[in-house]
């Protein structure tokens, strides 16, 4: 029977201390470990699917480059006075670069369900402009990063109330291709506390308002938030695009709630969403 695969080369260089976007999630996993399928191996988040950037960091810690070839630049002969390079050298170079290239490739959008860092269970973290929620930045005002059990999430355990002490805005810059169409889908609800009624906000693309949204919290509770699907389509104008969600609710600490944000190429990819 074939034994477990072993690295016959050398470990790829990379940081052994988790960077800031990984540290919070790694701390919730026992020993900072992750299972082979990319799920947390233990701790508070046992069994939870790790976000893309977190999985990439864990993979980098165990990735190996192939062993170096002896005399790798020995020629395979000459032709017309030009030296021919051995094909196996070029192939080895590609293999050595492949793990790093895969880790460096940015994803369309990371952590659309706001699962890291882990917010306090049955509570929340209040964040102001200049602070971050994983790959998301708080650009203005204040928001609340809602922890597991505080209220119902649409996906995973956590979500974001776009009103902290007042209206706030969160953003993430993603990689895009100029001229290509993308669809943003997300789950929308509202903070059911305080005076129930409309919670309003907007979706912005590179700072431009692409969609106004509203949600009526009448009759909703923490256990039954009543999430609905929404979507908006845009055509990218450059290699990167900044996606933002902003509250326009003058309702104090009770704002619109967003979760399960996704970005896909193409138009109208969310069959359960409404504009």
- DSSP code of residue 56: H
Reading the chain (275 residues) residue by residue, the pLDDT tens digits are 434 334 334 344 444 445 544 555 554 443 444 443 444 544 444 444 555 555 554 444 444 444 443 333 333 443 333 333 333 333 333 333 333 333 333 448 999 999 999 999 999 999 999 999 999 999 999 999 999 999 999 999 999 999 999 999 999 999 999 999 999 999 999 999 999 999 999 999 999 999 999 999 999 999 999 999 999 999 999 999 999 999 999 989 999 999 999 999 988 655 445 44
Of 241, 63, 246, give the one whose Cα is nearest residue 168: 246
How far is it, in rounded angstroms, from Cα 90 to Cα 13? 21
Sorted by where each begins, the domain ranges of the chain are: 10-104, 124-265
Q: Burial of 103 by CB count in 10 Å (0-12 exposed, 13-18 middle, 19+ buried)?
A: middle
Could you tell me how many helices (H) and strands (E) the chain has, helices first? 3, 16
Query: What is the CATH topology of the domain spanning 124-265?
Result: Jelly Rolls (2.60.120)
Distances (CA, A) of 104 to 14, 59, 152, 213: 12, 12, 34, 35
């Amino acid at each position: 029977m074939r034994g477990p695969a072993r690295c016959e080369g050398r470990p790829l260089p990379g940081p052994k201390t988790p960077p800031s976007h990984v540290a919070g999630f790694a701390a919730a996993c026992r020993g900072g470990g992750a299972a082979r399928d990319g799920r947390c191996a233990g701790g508070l988040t046992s069994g939870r699917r790790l976000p893309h950037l977190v999985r990439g960091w864990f993979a980098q810690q165990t990735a190996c480059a192939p062993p170096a070839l002896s005399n790798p630049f020995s020629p395979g002969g000459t032709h017309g006075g030009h030296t021919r390079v051995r094909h196996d050298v070029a192939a080895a170079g590609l293999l050595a670069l492949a793990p790093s290239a895969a880790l460096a490739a940015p994803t369309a959008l990371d952590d659309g369900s706001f699962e890291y860092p882990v917010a306090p269970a049955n509570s929340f973290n209040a964040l102001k402009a200049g602070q971050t929620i994983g790959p998301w930045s708080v650009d203005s005002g204040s928001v609340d990063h809602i922890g597991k059990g505080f209220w119902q999430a649409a996906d995973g355990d956590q979500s974001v109330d776009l009103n902290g002490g007042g209206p706030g805005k969160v953003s993430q810059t993603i990689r895009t291709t100029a001229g290509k169409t993308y669809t943003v889908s997300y789950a929308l609800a509202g903070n059911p506390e305080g005076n129930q009624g409309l919670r309003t906000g907007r979706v912005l693309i590179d700072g431009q308002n692409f969609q106004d949204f509203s949600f009526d919290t009448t009759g909703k509770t923490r256990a039954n938030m009543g999430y609905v699907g929404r979507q908006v389509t845009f055509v990218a104008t450059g290699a990167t695009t900044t996606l933002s969600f902003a509250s326009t609710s003058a309702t104090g600490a009770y704002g619109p709630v967003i979760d399960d944000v996704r970005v896909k190429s193409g138009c109208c990819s969310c069959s359960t969403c409404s504009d």
